[in-house]
Structure 1
Amino acid sequence: MTESFLTTLLPQLASGAAHTHALGFAYEGLEGDRVRMRVPYRHDLVGDPETGVLAGGLVTTLLDHAGGLAVWVALDAFRPIATLDLRVDYMRAAQPGRDLLAEARCYRLTRNLAFVRAWAFEDDPADPVAAAQSAYMVSAEGDSRTGANLKPRRAKDPA
């Protein structure tokens, strides 16, 4: 894996999109092929004000985004991807007032598909808040959606 991809592009991909920036996602690092991200606890991310527990949608978004980063690590490059399937199993509520971490690993990569496992936790990955299994579509090389190597589409005639 190229050093510039890890040190420059991967952290930008973790928090550079408008929604990930707004949610406070931060790249924590890479250990082997496992990507780690963090979302700091904030009161505006709470799903239940009475308990202070983070919103379930935040957990799902964190797991999905960490999964995408794991795909890019497995590809050793940025290529467009899209989530095809995402299953999240919630095991317990996140602890109020605590940052949430996520780790993800792409365990199978084919020409067009990537398969990922991810988990969210506070301190110990062995005590997860939630775990995810997901599949991502991987665009063919050269298909950067910037127009390179793409054939123009013809508009359909109105019926």
Structure 2
Amino acid sequence: MTDISREDFARAFTERLPHARAIGLVVEEIAEGRARAWIPYDPRLVGDPETGVMAGGTVFTLLDTTCGAAVVGHPLSGGVTATLDLRLDYMRAATPGQRIRARAECYHVTRSVAFVRALALDDDEETPVAAASGAFTFTPRAEQEAEA
């Protein structure tokens, strides 16, 4: 990853992404191809005022960013990534008033593409809010080091 602490790296990752700051995203962990993050419940991010359910785009942003963080944390990654493809399966509405957590795993990499899967959960650990799978491009660490 980098020579800075994992906590500082996670904080810097969020600070560089305006959309992550806008939804209050907090990265808890970036390590060895895994990441965990969460967003607090925020009435500004509600998609349906009658029910208080968070907007689907907010869940998508949480999962996309957490997947990207997992790629950045992979040992072969040079720390730069972009989403190529991301599929979300929404399984149920998030419970109003609860934060939404995401965990992602980079389970396979090729020379420049990483494959990731993730879950979004609220307090109900048994039934995910959404599941994601995607492909992300990345700059390999060796290639970045060779350019330096």
TM-score by length of 1: 0.81
SS of alignment partner, residue 73 of structure 2: helix
Give the gaps of 5 or more residues in structure 2. Answer: none
SS of alignment partner, residue 107 of structure 2: strand
1:120 shift after superposition: 0.3
2:81 alignment partner in structure 1: 81
Distance (whole Å) between structure 2 residues aligned to residue 12 and residue 38 of structure 1:
15
Distance (whole Å) between structure 2 residues aligned to residue 62 and residue 37 of structure 1:
8
What is the percent sequence identity of the aligned residues?
Answer: 46
Larger strand percent: 2
Deviant stretches of 4+, over 6 Å: none
Which letter does structure 1 place at the counterpart of 2:96? P
Contact in 1 for aligned 2:114/2:135 (Cα 8 Å): yes
Matching of residue 137 in structure 1 with residue 137 in structure 2: yes
1:56 alignment partner in structure 2: 56
Please provide the CA RMSD for this pair.
2.5
Correspondences of 1:6-45 after superposition (within 5 Å): 6-29=6-29, 33-45=33-45
Contact in 1 for aligned 2:10/2:30 (Cα 8 Å): no
Q: How many residues align?
A: 146
- Answer with 1 or 2: which has the greater Rg: 1
CA gap 1:44/1:67 in 2 versus in 1, 3 angstroms? same
